[in-house]
Every structure is written in C-alpha cells, then in structure tokens.
Structure 1
C-alpha cells in the first residue's frame, strides 16, 4: 500500500517535471527588435543628422570573458561613428615679433595707427652667411663708427666692410587685410590689421568619434537614439526609447518565468527520487 502511494506521487512529480521541462524547452525567448528604426546602416554608410553627416567607420565583434577560469566567452558587437567638422581658429602676430613663414624667419612691421597692411621683413641668418664665406671671419667687428665684417682677399689683405655693404638687403613682403599667405602648412587669411598686430584666421578640420555599444543611448545632434546591432554587420537606431524599454521589461519577465519553471523541474525530479528511495526503506511494523 505504501509503495503504491509513493508510485502515485512519483508519477505526479515526474508529470509536473515533464510539463515544466517541455515548457522550458519550447518557450521562445523574446529578442530586441527595433520597429521602423530611423537608422538602418552598415559599415561605410552615412547617417545624415541636420546639416551634419556621421560615417559608420566600423562594426565589429569581440570576445569578452572566458579565459582559464572556466567562464564562457561572450560575443560583444560594437561600432564607431565619425563626423568631420571645421572650426575657425586665429593667431595674432604682434608688431615687431618674429614669425616662421616658409623656411625662413620674418619680422612683423606695422606702420601707422590706421594701418590696413603689414610688412614681413626677412630676418637674415648672418652667422650662416659668414660661415659660408671662406674669406670672411665668422664674427663681425664692432668699432666706434659702426659694425663691420672682416674680409681677407687672395693676397692676404684684411679689409673691414660695413655690414650694410656686405650682407644682402632683406626681402620684404607686404600683406593687406583680406589677402592670404601660406603659414604652418595651410592657407591663412589676414582678418584684421591694427597698430598692435595682425590677426590671421583659418579653418581647421577636426574629427568627432562616437563609440557605440550594444543597446546603448547615442546622441547625434540634439536627438537621443537607442542603438541595436542585430548582427555583426548592421546598426539600427531608433528614437522610440520607450518601446525599447518595454521590450527589455518583457525579456526580464520571460527570464523570471523560465527560471521558475527550471526550479519546478529540478524540485520535481529531486522529490521523485527522494520518494522512490523512501519507498524501499524497511518498515518497523
């Protein structure tokens, strides 16, 4: 009698375990699916936002976790967006300062309170000129009446030549407001000239880089998007963040439901084993 009762309960628990196992095995896990996303692109595509454009420069997957501690590796998909934009920058050359233009040094000279142009006066490398002349001494000679260069001719006669007569006249360049010149590898425009200095302006191209993670919030311009990678070659983004959050909540409920069924399955099997074992314990009566 005791064993027949145990058999009934064992059959009941096994039936419960079978139902729980079947429901766990056949249940379809919900997945994130952005409906009608505003952005559906692949690597190399362009995303127009207002007056700007973002380029999808990379979509790739990497393995995270795992290693030698028994943990399973997880595949993570991410992407990169880039936007090139120009910014206006400027620099002021003060009156009397020395600037590098091309391969030489130049002195900035501005005349008058209402100047509309400035002059670049070449700064001669006197030391290099002296060292290149075998007939000249490498240092100038300063006397009471001025500065000289000592030059020795072929006969060995030493002559003092005034520096103004020895060194070449420096080159001069006049640049007016609105004109351009090459400076530091780019074309710059003279934006303004005052008695104190000249303002040069030019545009610089910068790059904004945005790293996009799976199911992260991305801001492009003034708009927030939820980003989703359905595979390792596609990026979708939607402004309907509420719909995304509803899907996340649904997945959480499914996981809780599935976890509960798994517990029922385990407890039912363990209960069946325990009851079956108790049925064979000898009775004392």
Structure 2
C-alpha cells in the first residue's frame, strides 16, 4: 500500500517536472528590435545630426555582440598651449628656450638652444669638452703644436633670439599661432584647426551626438547599426526579457524540485520496514 501511494506521488511530480521542462525547452527568449529607427547604416555610410556629419568607420561582431565606431571632423576648433619660463620648444627642427623677464612682462623671447657638444665635435681643432678655470669656462684649441684657451663666450656665437608680444603670430607645428597671453607663469598661444574625433559604439549602449540627444545603439546583424532616440519601445522589450528570465528561472526551480521529490520518494519507498 505504501509503495502504491509512492507511485502515485512519483507520477504526479514526474508530470509536473515534464511539463515544466517542456515549457523551458520550447520557450523562446524575446529579442530586441527597433521599429523605424532614425538611422540604419552600414559601414562607410554617412549621416548628419545637428549639422554635424558622421561616418560609420567600422562594424564588427565579437562573441555574438556587435560593436562599431563612428568618426566626425569638427572645423575651426580652438586650441591652446602654454609654455612656462625656461621651457624648451621645438620650431622647424630648432630648439628654442622660452624666456620671460619680470612679473609684469608684456613680451617674451625665444632664445636658440645651442648644442655646444655638437659644435665642439665638428671643430677638428677644438677639444670635445670645455674646461673651467677660476670660474671661467674655456674652449681648448690646438694651435701650432700648442694649446690655446679661448673664453667660451668668444668661441660660441651668440644664440639667435626672437621676441613676441600679445597678438603677434608665428609658425608652430605647421600652424599659425597667436600669442594670447603673457604672464610671469607662462606664455599661452592659440590657434584653430580641424579636429577628427571617434566614438566607440556598443550593442544596446548609447551615444550622445551633436544635437545633445542620447541615441540607443543596436546591431541587428554583423553589417548594420541602428540608432534611435525612442527609448520607450526598447525599455518595454527589456522588461519583457526580464520577465522571461524570471519565469524560466521559476520553471527550472520547479523542474529541479519535482525531480528531487521523485528521487526522494523512491528512496523512501525502498527503505526496509521495522514492522
């Protein structure tokens, strides 16, 4: 009689486990799709947002998730650079030292940085190193079988200098720069240039474009990217996915628990009786 009752319960829980497992096996997780996105693009295509033109430079797929990159160029971007007193700046292959004199300086000077070591090495009559005698620096010159000491300030030519004030312009790094500000702390120069920017795109991520709007990014396949500012439909689909996940977790728990009951009942049914 005891085993008959166990058989009934075993059959009952097996039916529950089978039904739950069947629902798990046949259930399809809802996918996220965009209806009428503002932009649907392939690699190499361009689109314009807020007056700014963008180009989709890459679309690729890794580990089942899409990703990509967009690129755009901003025109006449204001750039600045600041040099402190005694900083070294390279202009057209020549190094110059920035010199600012006084707390209330209205101008600064570029002084050429001389490579004294190279000058000495290129002079066959000069020793490769200067000598300091009684606090004075000398260049040793071989002359008529003897040596002549020439003061360094006489041997080396005076370094070239250039002076600039606020508003002056000069060439720097293939740009025409303007002196914007001169203080005791440094010199600030400014210029404008076209600047190329890139932004990485990730599936179901967001990207803020030139119209200050955040766009949802979706890669429906390995060659297409979609952009939309309508988050309502997306949020509803994400909620549906969350509900699906919760339900499938519940079905897994039911399947596991039912099978556990089945094995436990079978084990108890075959325990030896004391009576």
Distance 1:46 1:178, change over 3 A: farther
How far off is 1:254 after superposition? Answer: 9.6
State the match for 1:90 in structure 2: 81
How far off is 1:228 after superposition? Answer: 3.2
State the match for 2:217 in structure 1: 227
State the match for 1:178 in structure 2: 168
How far off is 1:252 after superposition? Answer: 8.3
Match for 2:117 among 119, 127, 130?
Answer: 127
Structure 2 residue runs of 5 or longer lacking an equivalent are: 1-25, 252-275
1:169 lines up with 2:136 in the alignment: no
State the match for 1:49 in structure 2: 49
Worse-matched range after superposition: 158-167 or 111-120: 111-120
State the match for 1:80 in structure 2: 69
Q: Distance in 2 between matches of 1:249 and 1:148?
A: 83
Distance 1:238 1:157, change over 3 A: closer
Coordinate RMSD, CA, aligned: 4.0
How far off is 1:187 after superposition? Answer: 5.3
CA contact (8 A) 1:149 1:161 kept: yes
Q: Distance in 2 between matches of 1:143 and 1:249?
A: 85
Q: Distance in 2 between matches of 1:254 and 1:150?
A: 89
State the match for 2:256 in structure 1: none
SS of the residue aligned with 2:34?
coil
1:190 lines up with 2:179 in the alignment: yes
CA contact (8 A) 2:89 2:98 kept: no
CA contact (8 A) 1:58 1:80 kept: yes
Q: Distance in 2 between matches of 1:250 and 1:145?
A: 85
Distance 1:128 1:41, change over 3 A: same
How far off is 1:156 after superposition? Answer: 1.0
Larger Rg: 1
**TM-score of the superposed pair, with normalisation by structure 2:** 0.61
1:67-126 CA-partner distances (Å, limit 9, x unpaired): xxxxxxxx44333334455563422331xx141324444332334665443221123222
